[in-house]
């Protein structure tokens, strides 16, 4: 057969289909005018009262299918259009240099825009290579991170505080369906999830609701078509059956598109929520207010949420977002179904039928609500047990060597097993409590409802048969099928709504955990964080309050509470002066932060010292750190305008030596009003903690340059040559000679385990040499280093004229220092500061020498005693 013949045959087939189905003659219709003609014809058929009923019905179906398909196409296109427009918007808003004036700063893994926003380059999923230094351009993905707006956190702080205190005051009352506490908490969190109505998440939410409505609409259509097809089969109308089947397949296209779109939008919304919430938490948790450290002092945050904060930030956030999105979908879906189906069914079943169905729903809802177990609490407990178990494993991995030395396997195994059993118990508890509920739920929703469905679906048929006295099987069958299908859909919608009671209950648990986390972060992140202080009883005028006759009235109690809170925010009263060309403490009480604030344990009283002891006012400009831009390849130049001065802090264990460092680093507060801390700029001060710290999964280079990132290192144009020089200076260059040479700097390893104790401490000195801050505070920085190396390292510090404060228990370090601060060992909190080299200091050292000499004179006496004892032992 020729091609022409095939085309003619096809044309005839299409023309026949149009004329049989909707009576449209395609004789003079061209391809250009086809759509116009079709739409006009369909509308004419639908509107005209004279058109044949079968043509009219088909025209309605075809018209609706066309509209739905077009809508799907338009929404799909507009979503992608929206994404392209929003990308362009961000591009022009944040990356246009002209808007911002100054040039952008680029590093290897990110571009810092002047607006504060960042563009990060992360490895593409497919490559899964986490080392940002080796990502090739085509294998990386750009992520836009909007700038952090501090005002938002300041504003939200009050919102969270208000809700938190209203919950603490017991203002929340249980409502019938769920707690108002839940709604309040959700209200606060929702502002993070959807910051504004023009946010992309609002668009996604609206789109999702649109698709949900479309889905219900399509279901109605399918129900009618289903009934029609069954009637066609029963009445042996072959052609009509085939035509309806074609429409069935046509309608299936937008129907399946809609279902997938709903799932995709739900997933996308959940991911967007997760991104918003995680960024919000990171911004508060990891900024210069050190919330991650201060959390341990927050007395209100003793819950498992904060103890296992790693689990809360990772798992709880994820679970909460998934649960929120699924609850939204699970409620919106059945509610829309219920509205649409009941309107349609009202025409078929009558108001009494629909009323009966809804009465049935409310009754079911009431019964199920009564038997719903406290899933919120149970899932919260299960989540907490999960976090504790995970955390313990993490702790074991981090301390594996120590545990191995102690042979602590048995203890650890018992502990791990116990935690695992607790977790299993919590999970089992959830399942057990769900068992009864599921049984009732199944019985009612699956069986009772479908049984009642048959009854309601048959009502109109029975009534019309009784009324007319005619039993039309075909029509009855069609009506029954349509009604039954709708009833089942309605039952399904109702049951999903009932199921969502359980989901809401579960969501309350997650919401509570996330709210607790955010509220704690806001408390700690606040500039007025009071380190867990609850009262300042000494400062509250209790006498004045108690003299009031109406002391017991609720108003007064509220006043006292208010007063307590107000006073508590004033607990940190000391002053901190920055940009000082030295380190100075004046009248500072070293107090362990606690609920008792300044009345807590006082370790050292009114501490006063200054390094260097005298500061020339002219030299007090803070020209300091090594200028990496100028001195790129040489670290060997000492500070030229500084003589370098040093202080040694000596004292027994637990007397508060490290706490002085905590005060200097501003991670502990100064409680007393007349306490003053003057310190240099951040870049001029490096505090070396007692426990060496090494970043996980970092290269050797990352360890030397910490707290600088390798991005910044390369960005500044610094070279590995400088690091080799630094390592040579602290005699660690042999590490590079092992087998890999300089490429050893790129080796990623668990450096905490690889380096020995002494090496780790020498690495601290390498960091000092690299950063060259003018002021260094060393806490027991050489206690694992041999005496000759210790001597060498202190001489290096002196040679480069660093100003350093050393915290130690070893008087042998006196010789490297100019000042000595001795803390008394009788727990009195007293101290003594002396300048080494003065008569007083020399006398005190002379006294010590005298004491040792006296002891040495007794050596022979003690030796004789020992020999005597040994002889006695031999006789025995």
Ligand X SMILES: Nc1ncnc2c1ncn2[C@@H]1O[C@H](COP(=O)(O)OP(=O)(O)OP(=O)(O)O)[C@@H](O)[C@H]1O
Q: Name the site residues for ligand X (rule: CB under 6 A).
A: 592, 603, 651, 653-659, 690, 809
Burial class (CB in 10 A: 0-12, 13-18, 19+), 729: buried
Q: Are 391 and 310 in contact (CB under 8 A)?
A: yes
Q: Parallel, antiparallel, or unpaired for β 646-650 and 775-779? A: unpaired
Q: How far apart are CA 360 and CA 364, in angstroms?
A: 6
SS (H, E, C) 378-409: HHHHHHHHHHHHHHHHHHHHHCHHHHHHHCCH
**What is the three-class DSSP state of 570?**
coil
In the complex, least distance from residue 601 CB atom to ligand X, rounded to whole angstroms:
7
Per-residue tokens: 516? 């607790």
Burial class (CB in 10 A: 0-12, 13-18, 19+), 668: buried
Other CB atoms within 10 A of residue 454 CB: 14
Q: Are 830 and 605 in contact (CB under 8 A)?
A: yes
Q: How far apart are CA 591 and CA 589, in angstroms?
A: 6
Q: Cis omega before residue 612 (within 30°)?
A: yes
Strand arrangement of the beta sheet that strand 685-688 belongs to: 685-688, 775-779, 803-808, 646-650, 819-823, 831-835
Q: Are 730 and 759 in contact (CB under 8 A)?
A: no
Buried b (16+ CB within 10 A) or exposed e, 545-555: eeeeeeeeeee
Task: Give 209's contacts (C-beta < 8 A, 6+ positions apart).
Answer: 332, 336
Reading phi first (left if > 0) and then psi (alpha if -120 to 50, else beta), residue 579 is in left
Nearer to ligand X, 409 or 690 (CB): 690
C-alpha torsion angle, residues 821, 823, 829, 831 (rounded to 10): -40
Task: Give 362's contacts (C-beta < 8 A, 6+ positions apart).
Answer: none
Task: Give 215's contacts (C-beta < 8 A, 6+ positions apart).
Answer: 255, 258, 259, 262, 333, 336
Task: Give 380's contacts (C-beta < 8 A, 6+ positions apart).
Answer: 509, 510, 512, 513
Q: Parallel, antiparallel, or unpaired for β 575-577 and 676-678? A: parallel
Q: Closest Cα partner for 672 from 571, 748, 792, 595?
A: 571
Q: Are 193 and 280 in contact (CB under 8 A)?
A: no
**What is the three-class DSSP state of 635?**
coil
Strand ranges, E, within 592-732: 602-611, 646-650, 676-678, 685-688
Distance of CA 193 to the CA centre of its chain: 12
Neighbouring-strand partners of residue 586: 676
Burial class (CB in 10 A: 0-12, 13-18, 19+), 540: middle
Per-residue tokens: 848? 């010590």
In the complex, least distance from residue 593 CB atom to ligand X, rounded to whole angstroms:
7
Among all residues, whose Cβ is closest to ligand X?
Answer: 658
Per-residue tokens: 821? 């601060």
**What is the three-class DSSP state of 674?**
coil
Distance of CA 418 to the CA centre of its chain: 28
Q: Which residue has the tokens 């789109």?
A: 207
Burial class (CB in 10 A: 0-12, 13-18, 19+), 689: middle
């Amino acid at each position: 057969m020729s091609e022409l013949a095939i085309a003619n045959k096809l044309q005839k087939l299409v023309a026949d289909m149009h004329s049989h189905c909707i009576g449209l003659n395609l004789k003079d219709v061209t391809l250009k005018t086809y759509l116009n003609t079709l739409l006009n014809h369909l509308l004419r058929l639908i509107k005209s009262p004279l058109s044949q009923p079968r043509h009219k019905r088909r025209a309605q179906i075809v018209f609706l299918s066309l509209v739905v398909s077009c809508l799907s196409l338009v929404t799909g296109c507009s979503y992608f259009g929206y994404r392209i427009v929003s990308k362009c918007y961000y591009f022009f808003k944040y990356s246009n240099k002209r808007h911002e004036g100054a040039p952008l700063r680029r590093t290897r893994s990110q571009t810092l825009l002047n607006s504060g926003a960042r563009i990060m380059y992360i490895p593409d999923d497919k490559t899964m290579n986490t080392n940002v230094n080796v990502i090739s351009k085509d294998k990386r993905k750009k992520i836009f991170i909007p700038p952090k707006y501090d005002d938002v956190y300041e504003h939200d702080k009050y919102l969270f505080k208000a809700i938190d205190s209203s919950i603490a005051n017991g203002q929340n009352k249980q409502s019938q369906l769920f707690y108002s506490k839940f709604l309040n908490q959700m209200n606060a969190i929702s502002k993070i999830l959807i910051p504004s109505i023009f946010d992309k998440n609002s668009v996604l939410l609206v789109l999702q609701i649109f698709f949900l409505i479309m889905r219900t609409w399509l279901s109605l259509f399918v129900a009618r078509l289903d009934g029609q097809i069954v009637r066609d089969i029963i009445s042996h109308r072959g052609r009509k059956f085939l035509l309806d089947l074609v429409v069935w397949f046509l309608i299936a296209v937008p129907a399946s598109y809609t279902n997938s779109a709903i799932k995709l939008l739900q997933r996308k919304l959940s991911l967007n929520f997760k991104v918003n919430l995680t960024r919000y938490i990171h911004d508060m948790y990891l900024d210069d207010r050190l919330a991650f450290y201060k959390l341990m002092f927050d007395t209100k945050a003793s819950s498992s949420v904060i103890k296992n904060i790693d689990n809360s930030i990772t798992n709880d956030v994820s679970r909460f977002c998934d649960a929120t999105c699924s609850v939204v979908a699970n409620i919106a879906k059945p509610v829309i179904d219920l509205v649409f189906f009941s309107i349609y069914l009202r025409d078929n079943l009558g108001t009494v039928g629909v009323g009966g169905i809804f009465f049935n729903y409310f009754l079911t809802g009431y019964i199920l609500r009564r038997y719903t177990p406290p899933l919120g609490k149970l899932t919260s407990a299960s989540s907490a047990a999960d976090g504790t178990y995970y955390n313990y494993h993490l702790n074991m991995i981090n301390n594996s060597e120590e545990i191995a030395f102690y042979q602590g396997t048995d203890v650890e195994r018992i502990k791990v097993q116990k935690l695992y059993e607790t977790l299993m118990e919590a999970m089992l508890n959830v399942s057990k409590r769900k068992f009864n509920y599921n049984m009732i739920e199944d019985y009612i929703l699956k069986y009772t409802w479908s049984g009642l469905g048959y009854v309601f679906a048959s009502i109109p048929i029975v009534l019309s048969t009784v009324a007319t006295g005619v039993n039309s099987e075909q029509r009855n069958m069609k009506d029954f099928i349509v009604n039954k299908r709708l009833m089942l859909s309605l039952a399904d919608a109702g049951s999903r709504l009932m199921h969502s009671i359980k989901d809401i209950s579960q969501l309350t648990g997650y919401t509570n955990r996330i709210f607790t986390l955010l509220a704690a972060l806001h408390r700690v992140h606040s500039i007025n964080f009071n380190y867990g202080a609850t009262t300042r009883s000494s400062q509250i005028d209790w006498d004045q309050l108690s003299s009031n006759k109406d002391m017991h009235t609720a108003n007064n109690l509220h006043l006292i509470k208010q007063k307590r809170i107000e006073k508590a925010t004033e607990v940190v009263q000391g002053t901190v002066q920055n940009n000082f060309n030295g380190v100075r403490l004046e009248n500072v009480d070293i107090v362990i932060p606690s609920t008792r604030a300044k009345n807590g344990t006082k370790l050292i009283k009114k501490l006063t010292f200054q390094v260097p002891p005298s500061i020339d006012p002219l030299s007090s400009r803070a020209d300091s750190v090594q200028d990496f831009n100028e001195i790129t390849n040489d670290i060997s130049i000492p500070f030229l305008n500084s003589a370098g001065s040093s202080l040694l802090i000596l004292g027994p264990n637990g007397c508060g030596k490290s706490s002085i460092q905590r005060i200097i680093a501003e991670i502990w507060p100064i409680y007393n009003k007349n306490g003053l801390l003057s310190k240099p700029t951040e870049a001029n001060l490096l505090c070396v903690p007692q426990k060496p710290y090494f970043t996980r999964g970092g290269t050797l280079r990352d360890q030397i340059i910490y707290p600088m990132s390798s991005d910044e290192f390369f960005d500044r144009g610094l070279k590995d040559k400088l690091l080799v020089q630094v390592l040579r200076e602290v005699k660690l260059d042999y590490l590079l000679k092992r087998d890999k040479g300089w490429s050893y700097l790129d080796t990623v390893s668990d450096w905490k385990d690889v380096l020995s104790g002494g090496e780790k401490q020498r690495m601290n000195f390498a960091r000092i040499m690299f950063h060259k801050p003018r002021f260094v505070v060393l806490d027991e920085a050489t206690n694992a280093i041999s005496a000759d190396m210790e001597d060498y390292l202190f001489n290096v510090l002196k040679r480069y004229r660093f100003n350093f404060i050393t915290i130690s228990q070893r008087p042998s370090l006196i010789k490297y220092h100019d000042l000595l601060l001795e803390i008394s060992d009788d727990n009195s909190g007293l101290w003594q500061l002396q300048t080494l080299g003065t008569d007083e200091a020399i006398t005190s050292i002379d006294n010590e020498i005298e004491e040792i000499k006296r002891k040495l004179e007794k050596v022979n006496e003690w030796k004789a005693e020992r020999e005597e004892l040994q002889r006695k032992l031999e006789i025995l």
